[in-house]
Structure 1
Amino acid sequence: MMLRRFHHLRWLSGLLVFATLACGPWRSARAVTPDSPDVKAVLDKAFQFLETADDARLGGKCLIGLAFLKNGADEKHPKIEAAVKACIAATKRDATEIKNDIYSTGIAIIFLCTLNPSKYSVEILKLRDSLLARQKPHGGWGYPERDTGDTSMTQYAVLSFWEISKAGLGCDIESTEKVANWIIRTQDPGGSFGYQGREATFEEEEGKKPKMELVKQDSAKLSMAAAGLGCTYMVADLLKLSELTTERDAKLPPALRPVKKPLAQVALTDKVELRYIRAAQERGRSWLAKNYKIDPPGFTFYYLYGLERYQSFYEASEGRFIKEPRWYNEGFVYLKKEQQEDGSWKGANEALNAPDTAFAVLFLLRSTKKAIEKSRAYSEATLVSGRGLPGNSQEVAIRSGRIVQTKVNVTITQLVDILHAPEHKAFGTVSGDLELLRERLTPLTAAEQATHLARLRTLALTGGAESRLAAVKVLGLVRDLHGAESLIAALDDLDWRIVVAADHSLRQIGRIVSPSTLGDKPNKVARADAIQSWKLWLLSIRPDAEFFN
């Protein structure tokens, strides 16, 4: 009974913090959302300024480009073209030679993931590798000349990792574990986060786990509290220690809600404890509720973007959404008051007017909320109702638990094209019915198959995660022996689902019925053993095989 009361009180305290920041006691004369005419008028002025604004840094160009992207501009917009050009120039070097600062590198990744992760996957992964090379041993990111991690920089590395994962380009588990534990260890006992993180101490107790003692941090600023808190939600989602939902999910009737995948709640790690993350979140929310204000001195516009990010992840984690939250309305009132005649916002440093304006725009657009909603696209969901069925029940079949049409007027070329385009409206249907591709490929001659199989082998290694997964499965279904090198290379994929699927496809090709030893969770030793075993197998039947890994 006492335990149940404790959990109830914990939940209630979190709800009160949420209600304080979301609803009141403050209310504006007229509450607004990003779609309100008043907000759009402010945004229009801001974009007029950004049309001619510039920043010499990679991160500044990408921040401006990101603002236009979030507002619906396409790749042909001059500011987006300029940001792409800067990203390509930065990634001409090897990952270890990329010297752009951590902010710029992280924002460039976020920009490219928002723009077109399939098209720019090479650049994204090279930028990611440069971040991995600069991650400090304790897990954070910071200035090269300092041993400490910098919370401000680290938030952009973590956000870029989250964007990479949601774009289907994998998640580096070990790196994410390290930064997750660093964030936990560098929280102030009062709940805030410092600028240069000071790590907790550990007290040894005989027969017990070491007890973590948080230490006082170098500062207690709202911008760092928002940064640290946002990171706790992102790493929890990356490691599948918790699950995000969207406002659209919450509003759907039960018959139309996305079905949870069976493994959705299987954690990807046992090296980060959810109880520590939850405790950090509770402390942080409590501190923020007590100290919150919309316009702290210093880097106010940078703070507003961090605040929107934290609030968006908090909403999605808790599944509680307020249409017109207090923090957003206060932010709008402040930004409307401070906007200059030319549409910009000016902080203490005029050289930062362009990025400050972009930060303000991203706040007003609810940029992070849009990213979360995009990451939970309905194309990956299966409806639990029978709506959408063809009129003729004789033209349907059940495959992999889905009801699919058996008579579809589409060519194999079109099907493979769709697998290359996760944004295509039919992607979910095609990737969910891979037997259709097998049926279309099998009757073709070897010469006719060659082009399609070559595209699938390449897609298995270079596409977005869902595309790679589908391609790997198709290669197994058609028993493509010449695709074995691609499948063995796919065993090195960062997405463990793809590793397991590649192993299964190789077993289909080799007609091997013994069970896989990989398991459901990432395992470096099992992966290495599988790669070595499959290489030896392929060389035994194809001595001329050349491997990619």
Structure 2
Amino acid sequence: MKSPIVSSSVVVCLSVAIAAVFLLTLASPTPAYAAVGAEVKGTVDDGVAYIEKNFGVKTHYSLENVFTGGYGEHALIAYAHMKVKHDPDSSVVAQGVRSALTIAAQLGGRDNEGHESKLVYAASVSVLLLAEVDRVKYRKQLQVFEQYFRRVQYRNGAYGYPGMQQGDISQTQYAMLALWTLDRAGFRVDYPGVQRTVSWLLRVQDTGGGWPYTAKDPGGPKRISQGGVTPSMAVAGGSALLIAADILRAWGEQESQFNPNIKGLPKGVKLFVEGMDNIAVKRPKVDSEAILAAIRDCDAYLSKNSPNPAEKNSSWPYYQLYTLERYESFKEIALKKKPAHSPPWFKAGVGYLKEQKKGLGWGARSYTTAPVTSSFALLFLIRSTQQAIEQTQQGMLAGGFGLPDDTTSIRVDGTQIKGEPVAEAVTDLLDMLEGEDPNALEGKSLPEDMKLATEPKARKAQIDRLIRLVRGSSSWQARRVAARLLGQSDEMRVVPALIFALDDPDTVVRTYARDGLRFISRKFEGFGMEIQPGEKQDYGELRRAQRLWREWYLTMDPGYIFVSN
């Protein structure tokens, strides 16, 4: 039987449009100060300033070769700076990228460091950094890292030191985080290998609910008592388990968001999306209930053994807090909870970090230099894992290009969708845009003289609806209309929505948002952010513009909290 055939024009249109949506939204910056108040923001600013002054200090681990860990320190510091400042051209990030590329270039060498090897850690943070800076530019190197993690995984599913077979919970956690990042960037990772990791983590959980640093594998489902269980390793093991489960989509599929919904398209045809090699890959099944039971046991352990280093002394307090943030963030996904931006555990961690802060940053501790310690602290304070999750979810869910049923007829002339006129009243237009058909404007043009209502109550209702559209509509037509009208509203309260729209997948939406911000603020030069139609956006410049617009808006409304962007 012959395979179904789809016309090349359909494949090309779908590939370009959907790949553009995913790659642009996935590369979109998330807020450095997600859900933190001005007091925490000041602490973060101090930490960044400290890193910028000290990122070049001597590493704790040697730079003699890539296996000893020094290059990984550079990558971690750069990742923390990148998550806060979103500036790929900074000296801090440039040093980290050079080190990450050095690691990638030497991964084929023989690792003779044994128990002193730090390569799993270094490779993992290198993946985080390169994917954050530019996952397209560094795709070749990221592929090299993916192959490395296939190669070094133990047969039982764990990761650890070369030449040994007793798995290391901490290294396994970082490997899972790297593979999760690669998977969300569209790489095909070793999904059966991830399944083996899930099984191993379930087997080696201690009878009390925590995990040890190095684990004895009982070989079966009955748990045994493990030595060396600590709160730090408990959240590390729980994190690794939750991350691995999320890679395997244990909590539900998301690929359906890429379904083009083309009438008559045979189900057997797999959509090709450039750069997204794993969309149609079938992932092995895991027992989600067993995983949730393990997490409940871990929570029970943590209720008696606090992961807050202020309550129970820890040898690795900053690493522990960063891991705790990761554990809690992925647990929200597993339990289908609405993200909590300032829960008790976070407030407690903030309190501890403020008490421990020395000058602008945090001091050297437990085999970590002060810049590395400060990087862990920053990643906790900005809720970096929650940012990463929101970022990838936006890439999966943040809306497409509203492809029509007949993809061969896509036609845009400048900023106009040519065709018959549509409703000139904004309220009527909103009714159309919010209706069941997200592409109601397909083939039609928009009047240039649309105006918001002048009556205050009606105007407020229109603006509220437009803000919802620019933030959440799956239709690019709707987002264009919303961005244009909001930008013309001359109302300060729409500024956060326009800052959000600066990283919209659609070039025209970004342009309306940028120009609207300049008009409302009367800062007609704005903060840069050149936009060339049809060309890839400079996301370093975009991140900088968003950060500066947020800072400007906070001078107008100091109490405002940017929850997501």
Q: Same fold (TM over 0.5)?
A: yes
**d(CA) in 1 for partners of 2:111 and 2:445?**
48
The answer to whether structure 1 residue 285 and structure 2 residue 295 are counterparts is no
1:529-540 alignment to 2 at 5 Å? Answer: none
Three-state SS of the structure 2 residue aligned to 1:377 is: helix
- Who is 2:505 aligned against? 426
More contact order relative to length (CA 8 Å, sep ≥ 6): 2
The answer to whether structure 1 residue 61 and structure 2 residue 74 are counterparts is yes
**d(CA) in 2 for partners of 1:316 and 1:426?**
25
What is the Cα deviation at residue 322 of structure 1?
A: 3.1
What is the Cα deviation at residue 165 of structure 1?
A: 1.1
Q: Which of 180, 183, 196 is the equivalent residue of 1:162?
A: 180
- Report the more deviating stretch, 265-274 or 124-133: 265-274
Is the CA contact (8 Å cut-off) linking 2:36 and 2:342 kept in structure 1? no
1:37–1:347 distance in 2 versus 1, CA, 3 Å: same
Is the CA contact (8 Å cut-off) linking 1:193 and 1:221 kept in structure 2? yes
**d(CA) in 1 for partners of 2:95 and 2:48?**
16
Three-state SS of the structure 2 residue aligned to 1:91 is: helix
1:338–1:365 distance in 2 versus 1, CA, 3 Å: same
**d(CA) in 2 for partners of 1:232 and 1:131?**
17
Q: TM-score, with normalisation over the residues of structure 2?
A: 0.57
Amino acid at match of 1:238: I
1:262-341 alignment to 2 at 5 Å? Answer: 268-270=282-284, 272-295=286-309, 296-318=313-335, 319-341=337-359
1:170–1:265 distance in 2 versus 1, CA, 3 Å: closer
Deviations 1:486-537 (A, max 9, x none): xxxxxxxxxxxxxxxxxxxxxxxxxxxxxxxxxxxxxxxxxxxxxxxxxxxx
- Who is 1:241 aligned against? 250
**d(CA) in 2 for partners of 1:59 and 1:113?**
15
Is the CA contact (8 Å cut-off) linking 2:46 and 2:360 kept in structure 1? yes
**d(CA) in 2 for partners of 1:326 and 1:134?**
38
**d(CA) in 2 for partners of 1:284 and 1:125?**
34
The answer to whether structure 1 residue 353 and structure 2 residue 370 are counterparts is yes
Q: Which of 99, 106, 114 is the equivalent residue of 2:124?
A: 106
Identity fraction in percent = 24
Deviations 1:150-187 (A, max 9, x none): 00111000000011111222332122111111111111
- Report the more deviating stretch, 320-329 or 61-70: 320-329
What is the Cα deviation at residue 427 of structure 1?
A: 5.8
**d(CA) in 2 for partners of 1:146 and 1:310?**
27
Amino acid at match of 2:230: K
Unaligned stretches of 5+ in structure 2?
Answer: 1-32, 64-69, 113-117, 262-266, 268-277, 403-415, 424-431, 447-501, 510-565
Is the CA contact (8 Å cut-off) linking 2:204 and 2:218 kept in structure 1? yes
Amino acid at match of 2:331: Y
**d(CA) in 2 for partners of 1:94 and 1:265?**
27
1:504-543 alignment to 2 at 5 Å? Answer: none
Is the CA contact (8 Å cut-off) linking 1:190 and 1:283 kept in structure 2? yes
- Who is 1:227 aligned against? 236
1:96-495 alignment to 2 at 5 Å? Answer: 101-202=119-220, 212-243=221-252, 268-270=282-284, 272-295=286-309, 296-318=313-335, 319-349=337-367, 351-377=368-394, 380-382=397-399, 392=421, 405-406=442-443, 425-426=504-505
Deviations 1:390-435 (A, max 9, x none): 79459x9x9x9965734799xxxxxxxxxxxxx97336999xxxxx
1:228–1:358 distance in 2 versus 1, CA, 3 Å: same
**d(CA) in 2 for partners of 1:305 and 1:329?**
13
The answer to whether structure 1 residue 86 and structure 2 residue 86 are counterparts is no
Three-state SS of the structure 2 residue aligned to 1:376 is: helix
Pick the structure with more helix per residue: 1
For the aligned residues, what is the CA RMSD? Answer: 4.0
1:86–1:291 distance in 2 versus 1, CA, 3 Å: same
Is the CA contact (8 Å cut-off) linking 2:250 and 2:285 kept in structure 1? no
Q: TM-score, with normalisation over the residues of structure 1?
A: 0.59
